[in-house]
Amino acid sequence: MTTTTHDIVAKLWGLCHVLRDDGVTYNEYVTELTYLLFLKMLEETGRENRLPDGYRWGILARREGVEQLDYYKSMLLDLGKARDDLVSAIFTDAQTRLRKPTNLKALTSNIDQLDWFSAREEGLGNLYEGLLEKNAADKKSGAGQYFTPRPLIDCVVRLMQPQPGEVVQDPAAGTAGFLVAADRYIKDHTDELYELSEAQAFFQRHNAFVGGELVPDTHRLCMMNLLLHGIEGGVANIDTLSPDGEALSKADVILTNPPFGTKKGGGRPTRSDFSVTADTSNKQLAFVEHIVRALKSGGRAAVVVPDNVLFEDNTGRRLRTWLMDLCNLHTILRLPTGIFYAQGVKTNVLFVQRGRIDKGNTKAVWVYDMRANMPAFGKTRPLTVADFANFEAAFGADPNGGSERQDQGEEGRWRRFTREMIAARNDNLDIAWLRDTEAEAEEALTEPEDIAAAIVGHLRAALEDIEALSEELEPDNVADPAGVPEAAE
């Protein structure tokens, strides 16, 4: 983020004090600002023709007092019924929490006074991304659960190398971080799409990026983010683990950080095509099955998962066996702790390629341990792009793990484990060989927010273990003696 963009983001975040004075809660800040910023940014980019007649930023900003607030409330209701699909997606069921006309006037006046010339020059999408990151970094907002650290996203995208003409999917899109980064990667390698034909450029803007997001307010932020980066729609407000998820386009590339935990009320996925995880409420296991089924033959994926996906028995083991049969699980990155704003759970990135046959695709798994002997990341030691340099060098230039690789031995971070070695571990992929210094690193934490995040992480990890054990003890959750379920289509 440049200094100019940082300054504008700081000014926007400062407006949250106005919102708080009117009773708007932390988790509603960015949603409330998004409504106003959308209208202003359409004016700044000359695209107000997307709005119904009579609804323009200038009309709203000029009004005063109760008349302005009433006009704004009416505007939100009518924009939710707009013919423009993207406009209606952002404003569906929209309503303001503002009650005082003076606060709305303060917001519109302050937004008008921002340096919009510089914002346009540096990219309105970058400005909005900065606001989302600021919101995620604020523990009180609770938005961290929807925000994957940008250095991690950029690392994954560089390794996966999305190409023009490929369908890129995120089945748990959040605020669209992975999709926006994939779009940026392609634009950087095609001179902002100018090297492509008109038809190819149209595909990139309208059809290349697809996905789903369950939470309505997060979906609004997602659609706004896509729009400001020149991507038209593509992400539906759906539960990917419901039958709606079956309708998502088959993908060449899947990049995602699915939600952790279990479905509320212990509910199971309702997908008719699920056979491996149909009996579990563990969402991350179910998302892994979705990813395998949604990949085209030869397609590739990178997915962030918590440790329990690597070691959970019964459904977890069946899923891993099935995954390694249908896909080449060529790489696992063990991520350091403390890198997620609202989650202290231990996480990994699985890199897979969907096989062209349905048996025996994984011959060996390479594991990179970026967790042991690493600093405790947090507010005082944020994650950076440079932290991934050694892993990217070890991974190599082939997005499907085919580059020449060198096992670094028991003293190194990068090791190879054959399929036979993994089978001898009962397909447990939670592989570690370096001494874990996590406790020592956590003792060095000084910021109260970082200490609290570490404590919460341990509690959540314990809760995950309890939930997994509870599922194993359920009488209707016994492993099928017949073995691995049938292959995905």
Element (H, E) at 138: none
pLDDT tens for each residue of the chain, 489 residues long: 678 888 888 898 888 888 888 888 766 888 889 999 999 999 999 999 999 999 999 999 999 999 999 999 999 999 999 999 999 999 999 999 899 999 999 999 999 999 998 888 888 888 888 888 887 776 555 555 557 889 999 999 999 999 999 999 999 999 899 999 999 999 999 999 999 999 999 999 999 999 999 999 889 989 999 999 999 879 999 999 999 999 999 999 999 999 876 655 556 788 999 999 888 888 999 999 999 999 999 999 999 999 999 999 999 999 999 999 999 999 999 998 878 754 457 899 999 999 988 889 999 999 999 999 888 777 778 889 999 999 999 999 999 999 999 999 999 999 999 999 999 999 999 999 997 655 555 555 556 666 666 666 666 666 666 765 665 565 544 444 333 333 333
pLDDT for position 345: 72
- Give the predicted TM-score (pTM) of the model: 0.85
For the chain, residues classed under CATH 3.40.50.150 are 142-473
Cα angle at 259 between 263 and 172, to 5 degrees? 110
pLDDT for position 390: 97
Alpha-carbon torsion angle 459, 464, 466, 470, nearest 10:
160
pLDDT for position 1: 64
pLDDT for position 481: 35
Partners of 305 in beta bridges = 348
pLDDT for position 29: 83
Question: Could you tell me which residues come within 8 angstroms of residue 303 by beta carbon, excluding any fewer than 6 positions away?
Answer: 254, 255, 256, 257, 258, 287, 288, 291, 349, 350, 352
Question: For residues 5 and 151, what is the distance between their CA atoms, to the nearest angstrom?
Answer: 18
Question: For residues 486 and 292, what is the distance between their CA atoms, to the nearest angstrom?
Answer: 13
- Other CB atoms within 10 A of residue 316 CB: 26
Distances (CA, A) of 144 to 62, 307, 347: 36, 19, 15
Residue 246 burial (C-beta neighbours within 10 Å; 0-12, 13-18, 19+): middle
In degrees and rounded to multiples of 5, residue 347 shows phi and psi of -130, 165
For the chain, residues classed under CATH 1.20.1260.30 are 3-137
Distances (CA, A) of 290 to 146, 345, 365: 19, 22, 21
pLDDT for position 269: 83
Q: Could you give the residue ranges of the DSSP H alpha helices within 141-191?
A: 150-160, 177-188
pLDDT for position 199: 97
User: Which CATH class, in words, describes the domain spanning 142-473?
Assistant: alpha beta
pLDDT for position 3: 80
Of 40, 20, 205, the closest CA to residue 110 belongs to 40
CATH of domain 3-137: 1.20.1260.30
